[in-house]
Structure 1
């Protein structure tokens, strides 16, 4: 059912969805691996889709970790709200700082992203990345996957410490960027 929902959404709006199928469990594990779940108090997920990463985040987070899930598609967001009612939800990744105020969060320890940046115009990429930079605490980590290395230069300009992991066991194989905010 989840795969069918994802495919339908992709066919209607390929620029916003970015893939024909949800991410694999291998990619999901690579995305949540950089998070220190014992100390994380505030985590955001951008572009949650059907909730492949959300499921892992919900299972791994400590009871006092506040998680805000950003998903633009209303039906996908409502589905996630039903599946993971203890998390917080917002519709627009361009509005991270506003959502933080709404939920009483000063800064995020980690922001995980499944957004298809390569499908977005540069202006939208910049707007989202400006929000990510403002929202992350110093020493915080931005984790994002992409199907190419197109974002590497832009992320290197924003973050002092970047590492990459290649995840071949996914349709399509993906790169996981781990970007630490140094200032």
Structure 2
């Protein structure tokens, strides 16, 4: 079993970040401690079958943390729109969960380059992992989940998009389920210094949307200092129906980003 993202994977991540920081959302993959904090709801269910969705997996630091935690009978669906990252993730799955590829299916969506390519792998102990090379709004699933881990860079999106994402997550969570996501700490003052008035307003509106969703459930947060930059991990256990918390975001009309579904690791 490999340890942590290899140098080649980290180099790939940095290259992709340089190509499109607004989409990738970070300058370095998530640290071990950040990955562990995001995966905490799965850790708490040790030994129990659990259905998990990870969105925007990048080069797989959180995936690497999740895979050893899965008890027999568990399912992990990983959504990653970047085909280069998805190829890395397929190798990660085979390293951590040796098994057999059941089949490969490709279903075209409106974006031919980002059609959903699913590679399910059933490991020897009955854990099923599926890599979905698609965007989360195109994910074709009837599955619901006990845990959703989001690595998408919310602060890089417009409020409408954040509301759509959070509604999607809340829809896919089972009663009593947990959503974890993170936001970088200490970057707001830097943004205020360099961002335009419009960008600053967008950042504030995104935080308003996220705060609205946090109010709709039991919420906890912690700061992971051992990350570049440090990050606050939020955990939300929804207690209200979807479609409410996004009203603040919907007041700010915009289209979906062209590569919704990529992440920050």
Common topology (TM > 0.5): yes
Of residues 121-130 and 167-176 in structure 1, the stretch that sits farther from structure 2 once superposed is 121-130
Which of these residues, 87, 107, 124, is aligned with residue 161 of structure 2? 124
- State the partner residue of 1:95: 138
- Tell me if the contact between 2:147 and 2:173 (Cα under 8 Å) persists in the aligned partners: yes
Q: Distance in 2 between matches of 1:126 and 1:178?
A: 17
- State the partner residue of 1:22: 29
- Tell me if the contact between 2:13 and 2:29 (Cα under 8 Å) persists in the aligned partners: yes
Gaps of 5+ in 2: 1-7, 95-120, 122-128, 189-206, 241-265
- Tell me if the contact between 1:137 and 1:181 (Cα under 8 Å) persists in the aligned partners: no
Equivalent residue runs for 1:68-147 within 5 Å: 68-85=77-94, 86=121, 87-90=129-132, 91-96=134-139, 98=140, 100-101=141-142, 105=143, 107-147=144-184
Equivalent residue runs for 1:27-46 within 5 Å: 27-35=34-42, 36-46=45-55
Runs of 4+ in 1 over 6 A off after TM superposition: none
Normalization by structure 1: what TM-score? 0.89
Normalization by structure 2: what TM-score? 0.63
Report how far residue 152 of structure 1 moved: 4.6
Of structures 1 and 2, the one scoring higher in RCO (CA 8 A, sep 6+) is: 2
**Would you say how many aligned residue pairs link Structure 1 and Structure 2?**
176
Q: Distance in 2 between matches of 1:39 and 1:67?
A: 13
- Tell me if the contact between 2:55 and 2:136 (Cα under 8 Å) persists in the aligned partners: yes
